[in-house]
Amino acid sequence: GAVVSQHPSWVICKSGTSVKIECRSLDFQATTMFWYRQFPKQSLMLMATSNEGSKATYEQGVEKDKFLINHASLTLSTLTVTSAHPEDSSFYICSASFGDSYEQYFGPGTRLTVT
């Protein structure tokens, strides 16, 4: 149980375009979803936290107009990277939790390459 999926697993886009990444909780209703970014050989950095039906809370230094997060339902959150640039290339991982649980369930990640 507690499976989280991401789509796509890998995407290449041209500089200046936008790309959307989906995160779905497959067998539970996710009260909260999280988006992380991981640079090569580095740790995960929390980008933002979102609750269903509410605006996302962004971490300091994360541009909310560039990284649009929509938590449309209890099973779906999307991250849209707008006007992508090569420096946005990274591995994006989402996670989800439910209820008062402090445990987060992680998706498999999405590799974004901006050319």
Partner 1 sequence: AQSVTQPDIHITVSEGASLELRCNYSYGATPYLFWYVQSPGQGLQLLLKYFSGDTLVQGIKGFEAEFKRSQSSFNLRKPSVHWSDAAEYFCAVDGGYQKVTFGIGTKLQVIP
Determine the Cα–Cα distance for residues 74 and 86; give it in Å rounded to an integer: 32
Closest separation in Å from C-beta 60 to partner 1: 11
Closest to partner 1 by CB, 2 vs 82, is 2
DSSP three-state, residue 106 = strand
Strands 76-81 and 90-97: unpaired
Report how far Cα 19 is from the mean position of its chain's Cα atoms: 12
Please enumerate, as own/partner, the contacts of 54-58 that have beta carbons within 8 Å and a separation of 24 or more. Answer: none
Closest to partner 1 by CB, 7 vs 82, is 7
109 binds partner 1 (CB under 8 A): yes
43-51, 60-68, 69-77, 81-89 -> range binding partner 1 (CB under 8 A): 43-51
> Scanning residues 44 to 63, which ones bind partner 1 (CB under 8 A)?
44-46, 49
Binding site for partner 1 (CB under 8 A): 4, 6, 32, 34, 42-46, 49, 91, 93, 95, 97, 102-109, 111
